[in-house]
Amino acid sequence: QRTLPGPVLYCGLEDSEARLQTRLRLLLRGKETPEGLSFRTALPRLDNGGLEWLAGWIIDNRPRLVILDTWAKVKGDSKKGLNAYESDYQLVGPLKALADRTGTAIVLIHHLRKHASRDGSEDIESLSGSMGLPGAADGLLFLKRDQGADAATLARQGRDLEEDDDILLAWTAPG
């Protein structure tokens, strides 16, 4: 299936502007920054104005893709009176609704637990936190690489995936 070009917002919420510029220079190797690529290094938590800001940005810019790196930086506080699953599900639910309403892919970068399985047998169980996050998501991607290794695996799971075989990747340094 072909992808449709369009604006992209990358929220590198654990990065400084200088770090993002350095990474972008490495990736682009002297080429121009693609038109429609926007960056942010700060965003309010979703329960403190962040969801409204993001919805406004999406309506104004009509992006194809929004990346929130990382989920922990924007997710908001756990919902009182709910178990961890219910709380996580309710926290990600408004983002899922926003993605569905606007036709925008919203990618949440989230970490795997330390010592997570590398063989793919327990991808979902390796997510940090409860099962509420994967329960609300349409699809999951797991990028797994041993530190210092030249090979990585991209595992995928999802409601509407036609194929879900792992993809082997060669890990190379830009430049």
Contacts of 135 (CB under 8 A, 6+ apart): 85, 88, 89
pLDDT at 130: 63
Burial per residue of 8-41, b for 16 or more beta-carbon CB atoms within 10 angstroms, e otherwise: bbbbbbebeeeeeeeeeeeeeeeeeeeeeeebbe
| Segment 70-125, tens digit of pLDDT | 888 998 887 788 887 787 788 888 999 999 999 999 998 887 655 545 454 456 55
Global confidence as pTM: 0.82
List strands edge to edge, sheet with 139-144: 139-144, 151-158, 167-170
Burial of residue 75 (CB within 10 Å: 0-12, 13-18, 19+) is buried
